């Protein structure tokens, strides 16, 4: 018999989304522009009207509530709020006020992300994250939103996945502006870390109440490909870029390697109340030529993988949560999920990953939420719509919302505040 795995009272169960991936019509950002060039999105799709969530948010939140959720993470589209530098669009601010009202009405606690991959075109034209103006502009945007949305927002998440931004846009060249220039990547990494501190402080100074604020770090679990000193060293520098640079940077208020030499920055030290953690997979690293002198070894063909090609590796999730204990901040799982056409695999994935969350809590990590990526299938960036991450499908021309079996597995757990005995028996050895 499986045994029920109980979560602490008040645990948050919900899903996460990002404006560009679900709203539709985000015409003023760099992703939209890049999609129109053609050839940049693997499956040839463009975001278009996405899930039309911009118009259907109330219906979506009602369904999420019916499916047992008590919280929801979404992002504000900066390019709607500030379509031209320094011009605020009050109508779009009102839109997000309605979104927040709807969440509260349906009993879903809002987690609001301020930056989730998209930049207004005017900001991208100035060099985006590589521009020395970036921290000032992000600080101003964060302050504006904190003032405007006020106490409707209990949780602010400043920047989604800081390490992905330079890596995807300026190292791998798979997100716009699709460059491969390590120097630019390091400029961006520095400005993003500075912005994390500045945004935190701007929210704190402008919100009329005392919201809870934090970054969203997507930790990958890094392992060396072998026991050789070379591979271990390569794994360590990858880990430093991906994990340590951000976490230690905020804890200590420094810009460490690879973007700095450990110089202190005013206002950065301790600029977090919580740590948002996204987790998808592990990274096995070997020494090689080229950028940073390393390469990522693809997962073995016989390992369990997603349609993204990512290895399913729940143990790494546990190890990452355990590592976060040293920072002494509550941990909120802000994303975890799988791209797959096999919803049975998703059911098993979500139960197995929640077992790791439970194990981490048992071992003293203060984890307070599990927000699954994602509610509906949506626009998966450079991969397009071909990748399915949702608990809910969007079917036909009218994008009819159809919950998948995994949505009911999730409901069972959310309502019981536990991995139930039945699910443990079915999915856990
Ligand atoms: C991002 C999401 C993305 C998901 C799956 C995360 O890196 O925050 O926007 O859809 O992973 O790739």
pLDDT in tens, 225-256: 999 999 999 999 999 999 999 999 999 999 99
pLDDT recorded at residue 202: 98
Of 71, 87, 94, 95, give the one whose Cα is nearest residue 17: 71
CA 164–ligand 1 middle distance (angstroms): 10
| pLDDT the model gives residue 291 | 84
Collapse the DSSP code of 396 into the 3-class scheme (helix H, G, I; strand E, B; otherwise coil) and give the result.
coil
Kindly list the catalytic residues.
161, 335
Q: What is the pLDDT of residue 195?
A: 99
What is the predicted pLDDT for the residue at 308?
98
The Å distance, Cα 54 to ligand 1 centre, comes to 19
User: Tell me, what's the pLDDT at 429?
Assistant: 85
Indicate if ligand 1 lies below 6 Å from the C-beta of 377: no
Query: Which residue is it, tokens 């203060």?
Result: 366
Tell me the CA–centroid distance for residue 263 and ligand 1, in Å.
Answer: 31
DSSP per-residue letters across 278-306: EE--EEEEEE-SSGGGEEEPPPPTTS-B-
Q: Does the CB atom of residue 272 touch ligand 1 within 6 A? A: no
CA of 385 to the centre of ligand 1 (A): 13
Name residues whose C-beta falls within 8 Å of residue 185's C-beta, 6 or more positions apart in sequence: 166, 167, 169, 170, 171
18 lines ligand 1 (CB under 6 A): yes
What residue's CA is closest to ligand 1, atom 10? 380
Domain topology for 5-220+332-427: TIM Barrel (3.20.20)
Query: For ligand 1, what atom is nearest to the CA of residue 117?
Result: 9
CA within 13 Å, CB half, 185: 24
Q: Which residues of the chain have pLDDT under 50?
A: none
Give the pLDDT of residue 163.
Answer: 98
| pTM of structure | 0.98
The pLDDT > 90 percentage for the chain reads: 98
């Amino acid at each position: 018999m499986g045994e029920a795995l109980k979560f602490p009272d008040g645990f948050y169960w919900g899903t996460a989304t990002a404006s560009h991936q679900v709203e539709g019509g985000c015409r003023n950002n760099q992703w939209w522009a890049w999609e129109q060039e053609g050839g940049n999105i693997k499956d040839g799709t463009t975001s278009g009207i996405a899930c039309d969530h911009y118009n259907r948010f109330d219906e979506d939140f009602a369904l999420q509530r019916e499916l047992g959720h008590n919280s929801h993470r979404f992002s504000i589209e900066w390019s709607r709020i500030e379509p031209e530098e320094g011009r605020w669009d009050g109508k779009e601010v009102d839109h997000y006020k309605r979104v927040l009202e709807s969440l509260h009405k349906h009993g879903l606690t809002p987690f609001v992300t301020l930056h989730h991959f998209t930049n207004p075109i005017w900001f991208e034209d100035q060099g985006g994250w590589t521009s020395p103006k970036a921290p000032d502009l992000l600080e101003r945007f964060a302050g504006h939103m904190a003032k405007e949305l006020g106490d409707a927002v209990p949780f602010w998440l400043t920047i989604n996945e800081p390490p992905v931004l330079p890596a995807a846009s300026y190292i791998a060249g798979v997100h716009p502006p699709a460059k491969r220039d390590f120097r630019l990547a390091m400029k961006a990494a520095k400005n993003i870390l500075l912005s994390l501190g500045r945004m935190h402080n701007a929210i704190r100074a402008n919100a009329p109440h005392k919201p809870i604020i934090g970054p969203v770090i997507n930790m990958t679990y890094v392992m060396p490909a072998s026991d050789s000193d070379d591979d271990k060293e390569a794994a360590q520098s990858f880990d430093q870029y991906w994990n340590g640079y951000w976490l230690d940077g905020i804890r200590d208020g420094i810009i460490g390697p690879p973007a700095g030499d450990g110089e202190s920055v005013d206002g950065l030290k301790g600029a977090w109340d919580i740590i948002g953690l996204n987790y998808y997979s592990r990274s096995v690293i070997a020494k090689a030529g080229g950028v940073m002198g390393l390469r990522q070894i693809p997962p073995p063909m016989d390992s369990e993988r997603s349609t993204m090609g990512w290895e399913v590796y729940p143990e790494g999730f546990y190890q990452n949560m355990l590592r976060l204990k040293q920072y002494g901040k509550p941990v909120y799982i802000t994303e975890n999920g799988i791209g797959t056409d096999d919803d049975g695999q998703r059911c098993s994935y979500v139960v197995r990953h929640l077992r790791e969350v439970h194990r981490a809590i048992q071992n003293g990590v203060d984890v307070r939420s599990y927000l699954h990526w994602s509610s509906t299938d949506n626009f998966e960036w450079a991969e397009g719509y071909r990748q399915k991450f949702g608990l809910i499908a969007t079917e036909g021309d009218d994008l009819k919302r159809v919950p998948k079996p995994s949505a009911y597995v999730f409901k069972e757990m959310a309502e019981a505040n536990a991995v139930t005995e039945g699910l443990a028996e079915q999915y856990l050895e």
